[in-house]
Chains A and B, each alone.
Chain A
Amino acid sequence: MARKVTLQRKLGFTALAWFLGCIMFFPIFWMILTSFKTEIDAIASPPLVFFQATWENYQLVLNQSDYLKYFGNSVVIAGGSTILALLVAIPSAWSMAFSPTRHTKDVLMWMLSTKMMPPVGVLVPIYLMLKYMGLLDTRTGLVIIMMLINLPIIIWMLYTYFKEIPSEILEASRMDGAVLWKEIVYVLLPMALPGIASTLLLNLILAWNEAFWTLNLTAANAAPLTAFIASYSSPEGLFWSKLSAASTMAIAPIMVLGWFSQKQLVTGLTFGAVK
């Protein structure tokens, strides 16, 4: 009897998970579907589910824009900022997790508070700083800004993961003669690898999709895929199919990455959740 209830609950939860998953995926599914429609089919009312599919939008978008340039910029900005942020965040989180002071909590809260301000509030000062440093519309400038923007979240995530690791293990390594960098590289990092991997992936996704700074600090040279998408929207004219094609091409790489790394993502995000 008990087993039957468990099975029912299992089935119920599975159905609910599928239902929620479908709801969440539906906008992406519809976008992909729209990218294969003509502009007239895209605006048809009621919406068309069956239609004559066309590659025309993809051809047009590829002819009109230099996709690879935008893609390359996205890879450099998202990848570069993530790696740089991890290099800064790992020692910071280590210090806060294993050598806390009475101000550690305040510092963590202060870092998080920088995310509470609307970005547009600091647009002009940051724009001027980059202008005077000659970093406007450069990938270097964007890498630095994206690193700084996501750093609080990365430090918080890593701090949470590191706190789950017993400090006695690190102490034992020190007793065995490990110096600081060896303690971090050979003892801490392997144990926190799932957490670091999920932090890396999450930050990569956040940096890839970031659309305020990447649009406002770039022009012709460093514009990533967010600018590529923005170039296909228009207040006057039909553009849904082309916009959908551009969006599909922009999100495809990060979706594929997310698909293949979902195991690491889930492991990392649930790291330490069940003891």
Chain B
Amino acid sequence: MKLSSMLIGACSVLALTATAQAETITIATVNNGDMVRMQGLTADFTAKNPGIELEWVTLEENILRQRVTTDVATNGGQFDVMTIGTYEVPIWAKQGWLVPLTALQNDAAYDADDILPAIAGGLSVDGKLYAAPFYGESSMVMYRTDLMEKAGLSMPDAPTWDFIADAARKMTNRDEGINGICLRGKAGWGENGAFLTAMSNSFGARWFDEDWNAQFDQPEWKATLDFYVGLMNDAGPAGASSNGFNENLALFQQGKCGMWIDATVAASFVTSGDSTVADKVGFALAPDNGLGKRANWLWAWSLAIPSGSQKQDAAAKFVSWATDKAYLELVASKEGWAAVPPGTRTSLYENPEYLAAAPFAQMTLDSINAADPTNPTVKPVPYVGVQFVAIPEFQGIANNVGQQFAAALAGTKTVDEALAEAQLITTREMRAAGY
């Protein structure tokens, strides 16, 4: 064989190899049970989509947020699919940082109309879907049925704050280490900021009026914080200003909380084998104050494609695979219906097998449906978001305000001082931001 023929042959082989090389998409995600489960099912995606390989970058939520924000803001193109929350989607979509999922929305097989309306609303801008929900959550009351019975009370499906406060005080038994209620107290926009913002909605409070003026000097916020601090002092655990989701989960699982108001995703934890009170847990809607709004929030971890991605078609295939109805069936076939990611699709809550496997399913659905991101509180607001305000400045402001609220809970500031400081911080930051 001539040398030239050999060279041509070698070049052809190399070219073919390059063509056959799989396209690799990089997915940035958070570390939680549902996401880890999805990584374990990668083989199903690659079998259905030969030619596309998946690379996972799993990071802690706050690190991930910082990491993907840097990348998307600089058009870095390091990630082809990003796991982002309901807070980021409207802000990033308006900046043009996300690819609209129009094809997915129009795909009859994907059935975007099946996505729960409250969740889809939070992930859409001007009717266009910018992220596909992987799992959704709201918040609700989880309570110890045995302690409630011992207190001589019966939890209604839709309790009021007055009932919750009364029950918490009656369930508290400091000698036996039982706290009537465990609520978030740790400072942070995603910790006490989320809980107290959602709680304040049920008291008729709001972050801003229609002209973006801070509202912490209004009586509704004082009523919220007075109620919260008083209740936690009487019936909350010691050192509550350091407690976030995980700390309260640990307390509840060890049987040290009579009630816990937090994310619906916690339902599967408190009823799992890790919990010492798994068979004594009941669920109820988040409380209200008779003003027409409940204290529940709305959140969805969703998959979005950054506009800097060079592999948008392959990324769209992955987003479709991970968030369609077939994925739920895939998880159910491998790990049972109780393990499927909740809170995204209407059809899941019409599935009798799922309803039988997940006793908290109906309460989760009702909680999600009760949240309205575009009309979160009693009075009109200029923003979108139930437990957050979907503006870029919110993270920084709410972290500072959360510190004031934590100080009020810890007793290092009075409620009035904390609210005055919150008003000052928010007004100053919003003015600096040009509102």
Contact = CB atoms under 8 A, between A and B. Distances in A.
Secondary structure dominating the interface of A:
loop
A40 B26 CA distance: 33
A235 B61 contact: yes
Given A127-B76, A136-B78, A43 B28 contact: no
Contacts of B253: 40, 43
Which of A136, A235, A238 is the most central at the interface, judged by chain B CB atoms within 10 Å of its CB?
A: A235
Interface size band for B = 35 or more
B265 A230 contact: no
Interface residues of A, number: 30
A215 B63 contact: yes
B78 A237 contact: no
Interface in B52-79: 55-63, 66-67, 70-71, 73-74, 76-79
A40 B273 CA distance: 10
Given A43-B250, A137-B78, A219-B79, A234 B31 contact: yes
B70 A236 contact: no
Contacts of B76: 127, 131, 136
A219 B61 CA distance: 15
A123 interface: yes
Interface stretch (B126-134, B241-249, B318-326, B366-374): B241-249
Interface string A66-107: 000000000000000000000000000000000000000000
A64 interface: yes
Given A39-B274, A236-B246, A236-B265, A231 B59 contact: yes
Nearest to B275: A40
A44 interface: yes
B245 A235 contact: yes
Which of B62, B246, B251 is the most central at the interface, judged by chain A CB atoms within 10 Å of its CB?
A: B246
B177 to A, nearest CB: 9
Interface string A109-133: 0000000000000011001100100
A123 B246 contact: no
A231 B254 contact: no
A211 to B, nearest CB: 9
A45 interface: yes
A220 B254 CA distance: 38
A266 to B, nearest CB: 35
Interface in A210-238: 215-216, 219-221, 223, 227, 230-238
A236 B245 contact: yes
Contacts of B190: 235
Given A124-B70, A127-B70, A231 B60 contact: yes
Contacts of B245: 235-236
Contacts of B28: 219
Interface of A: 39-40, 43-45, 64, 123-124, 127-128, 131, 136-137, 215-216, 219-221, 223, 227, 230-239
Given A131-B76, A230-B63, A238-B246, 6 more contacts: A43-B253, A219-B57, A234-B31, A235-B246, A236-B246, A237-B269
Interface of B: 26, 28, 30-33, 36, 39, 55-63, 66-67, 70-71, 73-74, 76-79, 190, 244-246, 249-251, 253-254, 256, 263, 265-266, 269, 274
The 6 A-B pairs with the shortest beta carbon distances in the complex, nearest first, are A220-B55, A233-B60, A231-B58, A43-B250, A219-B78, A234-B31
